[in-house]
Amino acid sequence: MIMYFLFIAHCLADFTLQSAEFSKNKLKNFTYLLYQTLVYAVIFSLAIFPFVKLKTAVFPYVIITVSHFIIDSLRRLVDRKFSGRTIMFTSFIMDQIFHFSILAVLYYAFNLGGETTRLYGFIHQWPYLNNLVVYCLLFVILWDAAAIFVKKLLTYVIGESSYEQENDPQVGRIIGKLERLIISVLVLSNQFGAIGFVLTAKSIARYKQLEDKNFAERYLVGTLTSVSIALATTIILKQFLKQHP
């Protein structure tokens, strides 16, 4: 379960608590990177120290914080030097792969799940805690992390200026977030057939715009990516839910 805490902390610090405007400012001003690293450090201190023994937690915590600063610094240098869409999208993907890989390696290398505190032992007795944490991880992935990935993909495919001018990103992201959550609930309830109704309702709302070939292509890329993330993430995390009488 400690692994879930680490992944939730990363999604909160790197996505939920970091706005698009703030992310852009990191490229221009190094102070924003320092501030974001501080936020990252605070979030992870709350995710690790209350649940993992101090002597075990300190070194992994330092590695997580320092590695985050180094990885984001390197990404910042790459994005500043190479402004191409392919490079920036690739740097985003590699950035996340490195972050999640480091968390997974540290979890197993330092046996963080086996060196827990009394507080963790106490809350771990609650029969529904595991499922609650899995639901929280599912939510933070589908709500903000997936939204940012879809936006990065659309920017890579059609270009940021075109996307910003021809769409309402804020409304579109909210629709996408709700769409992923509804699909996730349907998958958890084994109501796969009802997913078609969700997609149909969304398509009806965009019916007139779908007559534009360019919009239709962007719509399909965004929708199919969003739905794929919701399905894959929910199906995978569903395996970690515990059944209770």
Residue 131 lies in a domain: no
Distance of CA 180 to the CA centre of its chain: 13
pLDDT in the model for residue 242: 78
Residue 195 lies in a domain: yes
pLDDT in the model for residue 166: 47
Taking the C-alpha atoms of residue 7 and residue 17, their distance in angstroms, rounded to an integer, is 14
Residue 129 lies in a domain: no
Taking the C-alpha atoms of residue 96 and residue 108, their distance in angstroms, rounded to an integer, is 19
Segment (H or E) for 222: helix 213-238
Kindly tell me the number of DSSP H helices and DSSP E strands found in the chain: 12, 0
pLDDT in the model for residue 162: 47
pLDDT in the model for residue 163: 46
Together in a domain, 145 and 221: yes
pLDDT in the model for residue 2: 93
Q: Which residues of 95-129 are buried (b: 16+ CB within 10 A; e: fewer)?
A: bbebbeebbeebbeebebeebbbeebeeeeeeeee
- Among residues 82, 99, 124, which one ends one of the domains? 124
pLDDT in the model for residue 56: 95
Torsion sign across C-alpha atoms 90, 95, 96, 102: positive
Domain of 234 in residue numbering reads as: 141-238
pLDDT in the model for residue 100: 96
Together in a domain, 98 and 184: no
Taking the C-alpha atoms of residue 112 and residue 58, their distance in angstroms, rounded to an integer, is 11
pLDDT in the model for residue 169: 60
pLDDT in the model for residue 185: 95
Together in a domain, 84 and 170: no
Distance of CA 127 to the CA centre of its chain: 26
Taking the C-alpha atoms of residue 241 and residue 131, their distance in angstroms, rounded to an integer, is 5
Together in a domain, 53 and 120: yes
Together in a domain, 101 and 158: no
Distance of CA 160 to the CA centre of its chain: 20
Quickly list DSSP for 100-159: HHHHHHHHHHTTTTTSB-HHHHHHTTSTTHHHHHHHHHHHHIIIIIHHHHHHHHHHHHH-
CA torsion, points 102, 106, 109, 113, in degrees to nearest 10? -140
Task: Of 84, 85, 97, 92, give the one whose Cα is nearest residue 26.
Answer: 92
Tell me the pLDDT of the chain (245 aa) as tens digits. 899 999 999 999 999 998 877 888 887 888 989 999 999 999 999 999 999 999 999 999 999 999 999 999 999 899 888 878 888 899 999 999 999 999 999 999 999 999 999 999 999 888 889 999 999 999 999 999 999 999 889 888 876 544 444 445 677 778 889 999 999 999 999 998 899 888 888 778 777 777 777 778 788 888 899 999 999 999 999 999 976 55
pLDDT in the model for residue 174: 86
User: What is the domain count for the chain?
Assistant: 2
Taking the C-alpha atoms of residue 67 and residue 102, their distance in angstroms, rounded to an integer, is 8
Read off the pTM: 0.90
Residue 43 lies in a domain: yes
